[in-house]
Amino acid sequence: MRDYNDIMIALDFPGGEEALNFLDRMEIKGEKPFVKVGMELFYACGPDIIREIKARGYRIFLDLKLHDIPNTVGSAMRVLAGLGVDMVNVHAAGGRKMMEAARKGLDEGWVQAGAPGKKPYLIAVTMLTSIDKDTMNGQLLIPGEVEETVVSYARNAREAGLDGVVCSPMEAGTIHRSVGEDFLTVTPGIRLPGDSKGDQKRVTTPGDARKGGSDFMVIGRSITRAEDPSSAYERCLR
Ligand code: C5P
């Protein structure tokens, strides 16, 4: 039995006012879903936006993709845990030691904050979906197929004690088979049938993403830009 709702609404708004107005327009029956706060909104508003969204009863995936030396990432995670967020992430490219430090910092920060709610999930970005094979081979000098790197990074993340990875819905099944069925896959690139792809290259419907093994679907514009966001959210859930 899942203990989470499997849609995350990406709050890609330039400022707090736009983000909070959007949430005020949403009518959600039952448990509120996760919302994803990324760099744009967080850098614009700082920790206040986290408190405001929490006060409205949403769970938060703070998508800041930390990547630095282990000591710095561990200390930063301790601070983020104090904000009461429910999921945070790092780049798997930072290596196992960095991910272990992130896990330790996050867990310690959560305990220091009085262990509120459930311990936050810590996940890793594997290979950004904007990186294709040519870029990976020619610029990052990593040989082979992108999927091999993705699976290898996901294994490192699991060995470092992380809970899952951000990946394409097309990779979710392979990651579950190679790394573990209980290892979370958080997948962007989702569109309701008929919606514009925008800048995403490969998109999947919520139904196909679920069949492919996605645990959490990150959905932005299909909900946030819909005329009626609440019913778009309901359609995604169905
Ligand atoms: O509007 P849309 O549904 O495309 O939004 C997807 C969200 O997921 C955005 O916040 C985007 O930054 C994020 N994301 C992504 N691809 C990745 C990692 C994150 O689209 N590989």
State residue 30's pLDDT score: 80
Nearest atom (ligand 1) to Cα of 130: 21
Residue among 32, 54, 65, 97 flagged as catalytic: 65
pTM, two decimals, is: 0.94
Instruction: Report the percentage of the chain scoring pLDDT > 90.
Output: 84
Domain boundaries, the chain: 7-237
Answer yes or no: is the C-beta of 200 below 6 A from any ligand 1 atom: yes
Integer CA distances (angstroms), 115 to 47, 58, 111, 112, in order: 19, 18, 5, 7
Answer yes or no: is the C-beta of 128 below 6 A from any ligand 1 atom: yes
Decide: 3 and 31 in contact? Cβ < 8 Å: no
Helix pair angle (96-112, 146-159), 10° resolution? 40
State residue 1's pLDDT score: 35
The set of residues, in sequence order, having a beta carbon less than 8 Å from that of 85 and lying 6+ positions away, is 50, 60, 61, 62, 120
Ligand 1: residue of 218, 221, 223, 233 to mutate (most ligand atoms within 8 A of CB) is 218
Quick: pLDDT tens for 114-141: 988 899 999 999 998 888 999 999 999 9
- Name the CATH superfamily housing domain 7-237: Aldolase class I (3.20.20.70)
The set of residues, in sequence order, having a beta carbon less than 8 Å from that of 109 and lying 6+ positions away, is 77, 78, 79, 80, 81, 82
Amino acid at 232: A
Residues in the chain predicted with pLDDT less than 70, given as ranges, are 1-5
CB atoms within 10 A of CB 197: 11
Q: Whose CA is nearest to atom 15 of ligand 1?
A: 188
Based on the residue annotation, tell me whether 65 is a catalytic residue of this protein: yes
Quick: pLDDT tens for 203-232: 899 999 999 999 999 999 999 999 999 999
Answer yes or no: is the C-beta of 89 below 6 A from any ligand 1 atom: no
Nearest atom (ligand 1) to Cα of 221: 1
Nearest atom (ligand 1) to Cα of 129: 21
